[in-house]
Amino acid sequence: MNKNLYSPLIFEHTHKGRKGYALPDYGKGEICLPPVLLRSNAPELPEVDEPTVVRHYTNSSNNNFGVDTGFYPLGSCTMKYNPKVNEAMVSRSGVANLHPAQPALSVQGALRIYRSLEKYLSEIGGMSEFTLNPFAGAHGEYVGLRVVRAYHISRADEARRKVLVPDSAHGTNPASAAMAGFEIVEVKSRPDGTVDMDDLQSKLDETVAAMMMTNPNTAGMFEYNIPQIAEAVHAVGALMYYDGANLNPMLGIARPGDMGFDVMHINLHKTFSTPHGGGGPGAGPVGVRKGLEEFLPNPRVTEHDDGSLAIEFGEDAFGRVSSWLGNFTVYIKALAYILSLGADGIAKVGPLSTLNANYIMNSLKDLYRLPIPGPCKHEFVFDGLIDKSTGVTTLNIAKALLDYGFHAPTIYFPLLFHESLMIEPTETENIETLDRFIEVMREIANAVVYSPEKVKNAPYTTPISHPDEDEAALNPIVKYEDLHHEAL
């Protein structure tokens, strides 16, 4: 561990008696808590003066990179600008001060937000009904597959233990299917990245419960065979599952429900205005087509004839999946985003994200190897540089980008190619940013020709440049005490 990289915890700055806070004056009288809830000892908080607190957190945040710092073209995990006004909606006192245990009668507005979002997502996905409860995309997949299982069990068709997953799928797909108790069967891709129909046909039979698909797939290609795939999967009595984590390219253009999908999830923290990354909070709502509503998890927000809303527990298909109603603030941002864009704005998301990706792809394909000829949807994959003679790899290019203030694209995924470099610009970047990125990618490719070593040794400007990745994976330092010990 490099001593210069060791940044102390706020607790290491503590000096008895120093104060650096000013509490807001609520002036609302005494707060009455039952004695059992009151602590007997004072909390062990750091005692630090204000400049130290401000510098500590400002410097810590400067060690990070996010969409607020620079362009973040991370394929398969939409990282886009999320309007700050949606964050402002969340901090309004009317919602910020809600308590999840409040009786439904006192939170009718919050339940209306929940119900409205469910309806908009159903409209956007072409589904009959949504639950917002799941906390993440992977969690949504798990819940969706439990819905699939509950459906088969309800028909006394329990022998279906297999879930088909294309080899290009996001890693969460097989993981969630395994968690839901299924056996995973991989379906091959054709050279153009789409599902191999012959391979699919050979694996379809009465033991298959569902086929999971991502469309556009993880190589950024539209699966043009979806109608035939859905027909073949339905013909053996299995269901179609849609991984809608990155729904951007579909918005306003096509709906999973209309393509023949039965169950789907959406990542609100990718497509609907919650920043993605850092472990949450997120939400992975799950939608189902008509006839599967009864298998959605509890609790549900239901509407009575008089227009009032209630939190209800119906017949239980497979138990609860979240505490309370899930990550409520994420719903507020999603609803604010949908309402502020309106139907017209939503309809531009798909075309714009597609246009931006194709623009970058076509501006670089003379220097970077494009294994699947376009047009792509919202993202695309290069297989490293065309000129492989210098030994410069995708990892080198990704690291070289950091010196220019760009986050690296997704690398070595999907597994379809040796040197995958997966780029997603999203719909929210302007032409100047896209042009600058193209210019830098060309500059790096040209630098490789006259000094490959210079590119291999990049980055030169980041706090850490070439960590020992094997050591970091095999012996990670995850305890504060160990880190402290190493640094001293």
Ligand X SMILES: *Cc1c(COP(=O)(O)O)cnc(C)c1O
Long-range contacts of 189-194 (CB under 8 A, 24+ apart): 189/217, 189/219, 189/416, 191/371, 191/372, 192/221, 192/372, 192/373, 193/168, 193/217, 193/219, 193/220, 193/221, 193/372, 193/381, 193/414, 193/416, 194/221, 194/223, 194/224, 194/225
Q: Does 136 bind ligand X (CB under 6 A)?
A: yes
Please, which residues have CB within 8 angstroms of residue 38's CB and are 6 or more apart in sequence?
Answer: none
Residue 116's CB is within 10 A of a number of other CB atoms, namely: 14
Q: Does 255 bind ligand X (CB under 6 A)?
A: no
Q: Does 165 bind ligand X (CB under 6 A)?
A: no
User: C-beta of 223: minimal distance to ligand X in Å?
Assistant: 13
Identify which range of 124-132, 136-144, 148-156, 199-207 contacts ligand X by CB under 6 A: 136-144
Strand 420-423 and strand 410-411: pairing? antiparallel
> What residues numbered 59-88 form the site for ligand X, per CB under 6 A?
76-77
C-alpha to C-alpha distance for 202 and 207, rounded to whole angstroms: 13
Q: Does 246 bind ligand X (CB under 6 A)?
A: yes
Residue closer to ligand X, measured from CB, 122 or 246: 246
User: C-beta of 147: minimal distance to ligand X in Å?
Assistant: 17
**Which residue number places its CB atom closest to ligand X?**
137
Closest CA to 212 of 253, 278, 168: 168
User: C-beta of 65: minimal distance to ligand X in Å?
Assistant: 18
User: CA–CA distance from 415 to each of 79, 166, 167, 249, 418 (Å)?
Assistant: 21, 11, 8, 22, 7
Residue closer to ligand X, measured from CB, 149 or 170: 170
User: In what helix (H) or strand (E) does residue 382 lie, and over which residues does it extend?
Assistant: strand 380-383
Identify which range of 17-25, 135-143, 311-319, 379-387 contacts ligand X by CB under 6 A: 135-143
Binding mask 355-384 for ligand X (x = CB under 6 A): ------------------------------
Residue 270's CB is within 10 A of a number of other CB atoms, namely: 26
Among the listed residues 125, 126, 137, 425, the single contact to ligand X using CB under 6 A? 137
User: C-beta of 414: minimal distance to ligand X in Å?
Assistant: 10
DSSP secondary structure code for residue 190 in this structure = P
Closest CA to 218 of 78, 76, 356: 76
C-alpha to C-alpha distance for 428 and 439, rounded to whole angstroms: 19
Among the listed residues 113, 121, 138, 448, the single contact to ligand X using CB under 6 A? 138
User: C-beta of 280: minimal distance to ligand X in Å?
Assistant: 8
Q: Does 282 bind ligand X (CB under 6 A)?
A: yes
User: C-beta of 135: minimal distance to ligand X in Å?
Assistant: 8
Structural contact between residues 132 and 325, judged by C-beta atoms closer than 8 angstroms? yes
Read off the amino acid at residue 16: K
Residue closer to ligand X, measured from CB, 425 or 455: 425
Identify which range of 18-26, 205-213, 242-250, 393-401 contacts ligand X by CB under 6 A: 242-250
Q: Does 409 bind ligand X (CB under 6 A)?
A: no
Structural contact between residues 196 and 228, judged by C-beta atoms closer than 8 angstroms? no
Among the listed residues 118, 129, 243, 427, the single contact to ligand X using CB under 6 A? 243
Q: Does 267 bind ligand X (CB under 6 A)?
A: yes
Read off the amino acid at residue 462: T
Residue closer to ligand X, measured from CB, 138 or 434: 138
Give the footprint of ligand X on this chain (CB under 6 A).
76-77, 136-138, 170, 172, 214, 243, 245-246, 267, 282, 284
